[in-house]
Chains A and B, each alone.
Chain A
Amino acid sequence: MQDDDVIGKAYDSRLMRRLLGYLRPYWRSALVALAAIITHSVLQLAPPYLIKLVIDTYIPAGDLRGLVNVAWVYLAVLAGSFALEFVQTWLMQLTGQRIMYDLRMQLYAHLQRLDLRFYDRNPVGRLMTRVTSDVDVLNDLFTAGVVAVFGDIFTLAGIMIVMLGMDWRLALASFVVLPLIAVVTQWFRSNVRESYRTVRAWIARINTFLQENLTGMATVQLFRREGRNAARFDEINAAHRDANIDSIFYYAVFYPAIELVGALAASIIIWVGGLNVLDGTLTLGVLVAFLQYSARFYRPISDMSEKFNVLQSAMASSERIFTLLDTPVAVASPSSPVALDRPLQGHIVFDHVWFAYQNEDWVLRDVSFEVQPGQRLGLVGATGSGKTTIISLLLRFYDIERGRILVDGIDIRELDLATLRGLFGLVLQDVHLFSGTLGGNIRLGHEGLDDLAVRRAAEAVAASGFIEDLPGGYDAPVAERGATLSTGQKQLLSFARALAFNRRVLVLDEATSSIDTETETTIRQALEVLMQGRTTIAVAHRLSTIQDMDRILVLHKGVVRESGSHQSLLAERGIYYRLYQLQFQRSA
């Protein structure tokens, strides 16, 4: 759906109306700019007329005083044009920038609300294009497009009126060529549109390719893929180039064609007008003015095709932007969330939960369990059995297909999202760090967390050691994705983050998988104290990590196969027992 290949009409009134809606807060500036443009186009009509006056009136009469007056008028026109043009460019561009700002913020805010399913489907590179270049393209629409087209239309209409007023027969004769313009423009439009579509598709591929391969460059190099990648990139790149070269053809034909039509008009004026001058039905001045007017007539037309290009890309971009803005937020706070008279306690119930990422490929089937406040729940199971999925559902990253998930007896779909998520401190299986500082990664944007809380959390997970070793300590810089830290260190930071937020329920998804045994023991001891009376849900492959949990769920292919305490599960002699046997044998 969010396809980069989509391209609508060059002019789509529905989109245009919506775009113009963004002008509304700035209607005053826009109005002033529009007035400036119209006045400017009217002023544009003056110079040829002044020349006509000079040639027809003042020169034959040798009237030098009249010439001086004309010069003054001309100068006034020039000064006026300058001021108007300045006001118009400045205002329009300023408005364009403001609209861009608004649109970017709106897009970004919407992206902050969209659910995880959306992010599973849409690569980051594509979303980045929406936020950056697509919005920039729209800017052109306001600065070089829409408003300027108004100007052109006024200029054209003005010229036609003046020409008709000066000599309607000659005017009509020169308008004979207008249908030709329509034909040429139509041909150009339909072809350019097609080639524009192709170009866009290739650009999108180039960006996605770059984005992915730059991020995974170490893997590319480790597996010697440079040559193959370069060849693949070359293919995309060449296709992009050729698509562009194809489109040059249409532009290369279009401009000369319009000029040719202009020349044809000039020839007609010379021929017909010249005959009239010979007949004495036309003055020379009018003929000259006509020639100048018609020269000014074709400039905006070929300009318009330039703007047509802008319009074309702007429509395509806005189509994509609006599609994104219109993407419904599948997981959102209910319009009237359940009012709570006390903070959530963390009583969690999964009640016959069914879930699939796609269609009917069930990842969880009829999962039911209950965690009392203060209880500790362990999740074990083979890889891919659905442990992470359970956690994602609990935080309402996705909505379930069937069944209910209750927190404190309330269906989570009826809770305010922020309230629900505010219940949990989560350590994700895939660690994500932001560029910034070490302390900043524990605190995130939560300004209320003081240094002491951050430090305590780091100490609890035994991360303070390496943090204080780094120059700058908690203020030491972190590169994008935490690239300069060891994997275990990153995991410790994200663990510290979960503790620093001091939430009722701690959710740990393989939170210590990359951490050495000694550190892990330290953390476990610290947690004993910290999590006193709080709920913990932990996923782990090492049974030692979860064996002293109050209750353990054994998941197999999305089904809860066993559940109970460590001891009772051992007594059951099922999957858990076999897992345990295996682990015990191997370490002994």
Chain B
Amino acid sequence: MSSLERPASTVRRLLPYFHRHRRPLALGFGCILATTAIQLLSPWVLKFAVDDLTSGVTRAKLLYYAAALFGIAMVGGAFRFLMRRVVIGVSRHMEYDLRNDLLRHLQRLPPAFYQERRIGDLMSRATNDLNAVRMMAGPSVMYATQTTLVFVVAIILMVSIDPWLTLVALVPLPFVSVSVKVFGSAIHRRFERIQEQLSELSAVAQENLSGVRVVRAYGQEQAELGKFRVANQEYIARNRSLIRLQGGFYPSLTLLLGVGALLVLWQGSREVVAGRITVGELVAFNAYLLMLSWPMIAFGWVTNMLQRGTASWKRMLELLDVPPAIADPAVPVPLDPLTIAGRLEFRHLTFAFGGRPVLRDIDLIVEPGQTVAIVGATGSGKTTLLSVLPRLIDPPAGTVYIDGVDVRDLPLATLRAAVAMAPQEPFLFSDTVEANIAFAPEIAALPAAARRQAVEQAAGLARLDKDLGDFTNGYDTLVGERGITLSGGQKQRTSLARALVTEPRVLILDDALSAVDTYTEDEILHRLREVRRGRTCLIVSHRVSTVRDADFIVVLDDGRIAERGTHAALVKQGGLYAELHRRQLLEDELSAIGD
């Protein structure tokens, strides 16, 4: 039964979380123990009461029995209260730990991870699966322990009344264990498949909902509905297979249990008739058997939760076991991000995505304070070249250096504090404009007034101040999810301001003005001139006008540096850049002819 063994080793990975709460857990187990012990006393009292009633009893004694029953329930209730509080409480603490750990882990995984995975799938694991794991860690542990205890003690007490009768009562037990085993592993497998499909369903919906404009514009509503229907049908189909199983599982436990009770009634009453046991004993025996019925049902329940829990835990472990491909070096070189001069060096950098070379033998040195522009056709590798600097993509060791230190030998925090980037595709959070600009932690942590000042200055550089002046709430304007309530250019400039506000040693602009009109672009470039002074800048653009002022220009062609030099030199050289220049000039001149 490999599918039952696998869960065992999977569950072991959960032990550290239990360990963290061992004290409350120990207390919880104590309470479970006490609850169970006390619970088992009452049938005993019943036995005495019934036996005494057949043989004659005083009123006082009767009252005493009644009071005893109530007293037992009182004490039992108190422990039961504690048990729930402690054990379920611990499971909530574990859930909290797990969720925190998961986020911390996810935050260490590189962008490449998020490109392979679908967000809907990740979300499903972080929510639905986590919940199943919590149910396993809390309620199911509680019930499992309680069940086992009740079981063992009840059987001992039953044996003390009549061993032979106990044996008869337990005839169905082997069948119960077989049924649990068979059903258990089947539930596990089916549940795994259900969770998988739930992820798929989420991912389909997620994509549709975030691409709503395309769906509407191209009238894809019906096609999208069709996609969803397929996912939904499959989800229901997989659920059905679990239902059939569960439909049989629980009743079969009740049945087996009933057969036990029947056997006891049958055999027990014959023994009473034969005078071997008293009526009171038979009643107590039955009460114990009734008590066993709850554990038995709980047992089915626990099996179900355990199987679901382990299936889900496995899915979470799949995430937790992804090693952070981009991490701090084992022996980091200590550098102060503020004193980094910003000398960049690429040494024979060759990089491939899954065997497809994207950068080939890049050799490039940028002196501190220089501005270097990178141009090149769509897909020529510009973004990739920029991304290796802040290690969004990991370059091979010994290829990318900052101030003579391999970027892979710097702590990530230092590296990324020194290098700020306005990415080609801005990502805004549903928060205020100010919070989106003051995103870097050191800016976010500033006192309100100072922060506002820094933000205003950066927004001024990015020429966002104009737009914000027109907004009723100015810097406190809430932007929708992913900045949906801003125009394309506003989004881009917010993202630019976010990079500028950190006053980095190395500033990277990846086509960061593509959605900005010429006039505003000109204003921004003008203001950036000041910013560029004293820091290293890498600027990607398709526009000659944006790159012509650079200290030198690098032309990428299919991942290779094809040309390099100043604007004037490159134009004279008559290569790719000169062609680009000619083309753009021509376009602009063409229209001037009629002037």
A binds B: yes
Q: Is the CB of A445 within 8 A of B226?
A: yes
Q: Is the CB of A492 within 8 A of B378?
A: yes
Instruction: Kindly list chain B residues whose C-beta atoms are within 8 Å of the C-beta of A586.
Output: 518, 522, 545, 548
Q: Is the CB of B269 within 8 A of A58?
A: yes
Q: How far apart sit A480 and B216, CA to CA, in the bound complex (Å)?
A: 19
Q: Is the CB of B493 within 8 A of A383?
A: yes
Interface digits, B417-443 against A, CB 8 Å rule (1 contact, 0 not)?
Answer: 100110111010110000000011100
Asked whether any CB of chain B lies closer than 8 Å to the CB of A374, the reply is no
Which residues of chain B from 194 to 226 have a CB within 8 Å of any chain A CB? 198, 201-203, 205-226
Residue of A nearest to B127 (CB): A207
Asked whether any CB of chain A lies closer than 8 Å to the CB of B527, the reply is no
Q: Is the CB of B261 within 8 A of A89?
A: no
| Shortest distance between the CB of B506 and any CB in chain A (Å) | 13
| Shortest distance between the CB of A362 and any CB in chain B (Å) | 11
| Shortest distance between the CB of A302 and any CB in chain B (Å) | 11
Q: Is the CB of B69 within 8 A of A544?
A: no
Instruction: Kindly list chain B residues whose C-beta atoms are within 8 Å of the C-beta of A521.
Output: 583
Q: Is the CB of B122 within 8 A of A214?
A: yes
Greatest chain A CB density within 10 A among B77, B233, B482, B542 is at: B542
Interface window among B113-121, B181-189, B308-316:
B113-121
Q: How far apart sit A251 and B92, CA to CA, in the bound complex (Å)?
A: 14
Asked whether any CB of chain B lies closer than 8 Å to the CB of A401, the reply is no
| Shortest distance between the CB of B142 and any CB in chain A (Å) | 11
User: Contacting B511 at CB < 8 Å: which of A240, A245, A514?
Assistant: A514
Q: Is the CB of A517 within 8 A of B488?
A: no
Q: Is the CB of B485 within 8 A of A357?
A: yes
Which residues of chain B from 215 to 258 have a CB within 8 Å of any chain A CB? 215-229, 232-233, 235-236, 239-240, 243-244, 246-248, 250-252, 254-255, 258
Q: A492-B378, A579-B518 are in contact. Are A518 and B580 (CB under 8 A)?
A: yes
Q: Is the CB of A74 within 8 A of B70?
A: no
| Shortest distance between the CB of B293 and any CB in chain A (Å) | 10
Greatest chain A CB density within 10 A among B107, B208, B356 is at: B107
Q: How far apart sit A382 and B585, CA to CA, in the bound complex (Å)?
A: 22
Asked whether any CB of chain A lies closer than 8 Å to the CB of B72, the reply is yes
| Shortest distance between the CB of B364 and any CB in chain A (Å) | 20
Asked whether any CB of chain A lies closer than 8 Å to the CB of B44, the reply is no
Interface window among B95-103, B145-153, B163-171:
B95-103
Asked whether any CB of chain B lies closer than 8 Å to the CB of A20, the reply is no
Interface window among A21-29, A108-116, A147-155, A161-169:
A108-116
Instruction: Kindly list chain B residues whose C-beta atoms are within 8 Å of the C-beta of A297.
Output: none
Q: A216-B429, A278-B57 are in contact. Are A111 and B423 (CB under 8 A)?
A: no
Q: Is the CB of A217 within 8 A of B488?
A: no
Q: How far apart sit A215 and B119, CA to CA, in the bound complex (Å)?
A: 7
Q: Is the CB of B84 within 8 A of A252?
A: yes
Instruction: Kindly list chain A residues whose C-beta atoms are within 8 Å of the C-beta of B470.
Output: 384, 557
Q: Is the CB of A429 within 8 A of B488?
A: yes
Asked whether any CB of chain A lies closer than 8 Å to the CB of B489, the reply is yes
Asked whether any CB of chain B lies closer than 8 Å to the CB of A172, the reply is no
User: Contacting A222 at CB < 8 Å: which of B72, B421, B482?
Assistant: B421
Q: Is the CB of B519 within 8 A of A255?
A: no
Interface size class of A (residues with CB under 8 A): 35 or more
Instruction: Kindly list chain B residues whose C-beta atoms are within 8 Å of the C-beta of A100.
Output: 236
Residue of B nearest to A241 (CB): B96
Asked whether any CB of chain B lies closer than 8 Å to the CB of A335, the reply is no
Asked whether any CB of chain A lies closer than 8 Å to the CB of B390, the reply is yes
Q: Is the CB of B515 within 8 A of A429?
A: yes
Instruction: Kindly list chain A residues whose C-beta atoms are within 8 Å of the C-beta of B472.
Output: 361
| Shortest distance between the CB of A94 and any CB in chain B (Å) | 6
Which residues of chain A from 59 to 78 have a CB within 8 Å of any chain B CB? 59, 62, 64, 67-68, 70-71, 74-75, 77-78
Interface digits, B450-475 against A, CB 8 Å rule (1 contact, 0 not)?
Answer: 00000000000000000100101000
Q: How far apart sit A466 and B559, CA to CA, in the bound complex (Å)?
A: 13
Q: Is the CB of B213 within 8 A of A116?
A: yes
Asked whether any CB of chain B lies closer than 8 Å to the CB of A435, the reply is yes
Q: A224-B416, A253-B81 are in contact. Are A132 and B57 (CB under 8 A)?
A: no
Residue of B nearest to A233 (CB): B103
Q: Is the CB of B84 within 8 A of A128?
A: no
Q: Is the CB of B392 within 8 A of A51?
A: no
Residue of B nearest to A236 (CB): B99
Instruction: Kindly list chain B residues whose C-beta atoms are within 8 Å of the C-beta of A220.
Output: 107
Asked whether any CB of chain B lies closer than 8 Å to the CB of A295, the reply is yes
Residue of B nearest to A139 (CB): B239
Interface digits, B85-100 against A, CB 8 Å rule (1 contact, 0 not)?
Answer: 1001100110110011
Q: How far apart sit A557 and B222, CA to CA, in the bound complex (Å)?
A: 37
Instruction: Kindly list chain A residues whose C-beta atoms are within 8 Å of the C-beta of B67.
Output: 267
Asked whether any CB of chain A lies closer than 8 Å to the CB of B566, the reply is no
Q: Is the CB of A78 within 8 A of B262?
A: yes
Instruction: Kindly list chain A residues whose C-beta atoms are within 8 Å of the C-beta of B2.
Output: none
User: Contacting A263 at CB < 8 Å: which of B72, B236, B375?
Assistant: B72
Q: Is the CB of B244 within 8 A of A108?
A: no
Residue of B nearest to A219 (CB): B427
Q: How far apart sit A131 and B198, CA to CA, in the bound complex (Å)?
A: 11
Q: How far apart sit A248 and B416, CA to CA, in the bound complex (Å)?
A: 44
Q: A131-B205, A514-B424 are in contact. Are A278 and B59 (CB under 8 A)?
A: yes
Which residues of chain A from 528 to 558 have a CB within 8 Å of any chain B CB? 541-544, 547-548, 557
Q: Is the CB of B490 within 8 A of A384?
A: yes
Asked whether any CB of chain A lies closer than 8 Å to the CB of B34, the reply is no
| Shortest distance between the CB of A463 and any CB in chain B (Å) | 9
Instruction: Kindly list chain B residues whose C-beta atoms are within 8 Å of the C-beta of A494.
Output: 214
Asked whether any CB of chain B lies closer than 8 Å to the CB of A249, the reply is yes
Q: Is the CB of B545 within 8 A of A480?
A: no
Asked whether any CB of chain A lies closer than 8 Å to the CB of B10, the reply is no
Q: A64-B273, A90-B243, A101-B236 are in contact. Are A259 and B76 (CB under 8 A)?
A: yes
Instruction: Kindly list chain B residues whose C-beta atoms are within 8 Å of the C-beta of A381.
Output: 517
Instruction: Kindly list chain B residues whose C-beta atoms are within 8 Å of the C-beta of A384.
Output: 467, 470, 486-487, 489-490
Interface window among A11-19, A404-412, A481-489:
A481-489
User: Contacting A397 at CB < 8 Å: which of B216, B486, B515?
Assistant: B216
| Shortest distance between the CB of A317 and any CB in chain B (Å) | 15
Asked whether any CB of chain B lies closer than 8 Å to the CB of A319, the reply is no
Asked whether any CB of chain B lies closer than 8 Å to the CB of A572, the reply is no
Asked whether any CB of chain A lies closer than 8 Å to the CB of B26, the reply is no
Q: Is the CB of A97 within 8 A of B481?
A: no
Interface digits, B470-503 against A, CB 8 Å rule (1 contact, 0 not)?
Answer: 1010000000111011111110010000100010
| Shortest distance between the CB of A326 and any CB in chain B (Å) | 19
Which residues of chain A from 193 to 252 have a CB within 8 Å of any chain B CB? 206-208, 210-230, 233-234, 237-238, 240-241, 244-245, 248-249, 251-252
Q: A116-B216, A133-B127, A257-B77 are in contact. Are A435 and B207 (CB under 8 A)?
A: yes
Contacts beyond the supplied A112-B221, A225-B441, A517-B584: 14 A-B pairs with Cβ under 8 Å: A82-B255, A105-B229, A214-B123, A230-B104, A233-B100, A237-B96, A267-B66, A270-B46, A295-B290, A383-B489, A432-B213, A582-B518, A582-B519, A587-B588
Pick the 6 closest A-B CB pairs, nearest first. Answer: A445-B223, A383-B489, A263-B73, A488-B378, A256-B77, A90-B247
28 examples of A-B residue contacts, CB within 8 angstroms: A77-B258, A81-B258, A82-B252, A85-B250, A86-B248, A128-B120, A128-B123, A210-B123, A214-B114, A216-B482, A218-B392, A225-B440, A228-B441, A253-B81, A263-B70, A284-B53, A382-B520, A384-B487, A426-B218, A432-B210, A432-B213, A446-B223, A479-B116, A488-B379, A541-B515, A547-B587, A583-B588, A588-B588
